[in-house]
Amino acid sequence: MKDVEIIVKGEIHTSQGDLEEERELLLEGVDHLILEGAEREPNLGLFDQWYAWILMITDYLFARHLYVDKSILTDLADIQDAELHSTRESDADILRNSRTLVRVVAGVSFLFLATLSLGLGVTGHVAAGALLLLISALGPLLLLRIHESGRSETGRDAQMAGLIEDAARETRVGGRVVAVVGNTHAKQIPKFLSDDLPDPKVVPPAYGFISIPHFKELFYPGFVSFSVLYVGYSALLAYVLFIHTHLG
């Protein structure tokens, strides 16, 4: 196999320290950059709208405020004319790669918990209802992702390794392939790479998920996230009460 450097950077998606390490890696040069995430917005059918609600809740009320912005990495890759790859076409893949039973369980769980959260709000427990609304989205989404990752034929680690392998074979001699993925994936990906590829350099997170530096980073965005969640939930609750009053 030609001389290609493969770097797998394991990260905590909410860590500014990891983003800084990733920026330094790309400043050393990159030919292919692989980022964990979706390439485009999902196209969902009528009967999958519950999943669209899950994605909206987790994005607007959670991930958008806590996850670090990766635009500086894509900008650095673009400056160097590097090829940019996403690990999935869209977040709809998470749903489509799961078995029917798991999809049903996830959908029913979301609808039940979301309804219960509105019930809590109606009885005056707004903060608890807002938190349960977030759990109603995060729980089923986590179930779907764990199931998808564990399926042998569509395992996320194997798919990511395939992207890295394809990029390495397309890269010029002496080139660099950098993959930025969650730390759990980073630990497993080397097991799925072909033996004829150079051994990848696996870079661990800058610090642990449960650590003082990470807690300091999460404090303010966590406050913002809960504030947005509370306001968004209150607006949804007011809308539901308005509909109930005028149509009930």
Q: What is the pLDDT of residue 46?
A: 86
Give the tens place of pLDDT for each residue, 209-229.
999 999 999 999 999 999 999
Those residues whose C-beta lies under 8 Å from the C-beta of residue 30, and which sit 6 or more positions away, are 76, 77, 80, 82, 176, 177, 178
Domain that holds residue 9: 5-247
Q: Is the pLDDT of residue 29 over 80?
A: yes
Q: The tokens of 114 are what? A: 């979301």
Give the tens place of pLDDT for each residue, 142-174.
999 888 776 655 578 888 999 999 999 998 888
The pTM assigned to this predicted structure is 0.88
CA distances for 121 relative to 126, 177, 246, 247, angstroms: 4, 49, 18, 19
Q: What is the mean pLDDT of the chain?
A: 91
Q: What is the pLDDT of residue 193?
A: 92
Q: What is the pLDDT of residue 246?
A: 74
Q: What is the pLDDT of residue 151?
A: 62
Q: How many domains does the chain have?
A: 1
How many angstroms separate the CA atoms of 116 and 67, rounded?
27
Q: The tokens of 20 are what? A: 């800084």
Q: Is the pLDDT of residue 73 over 90?
A: yes
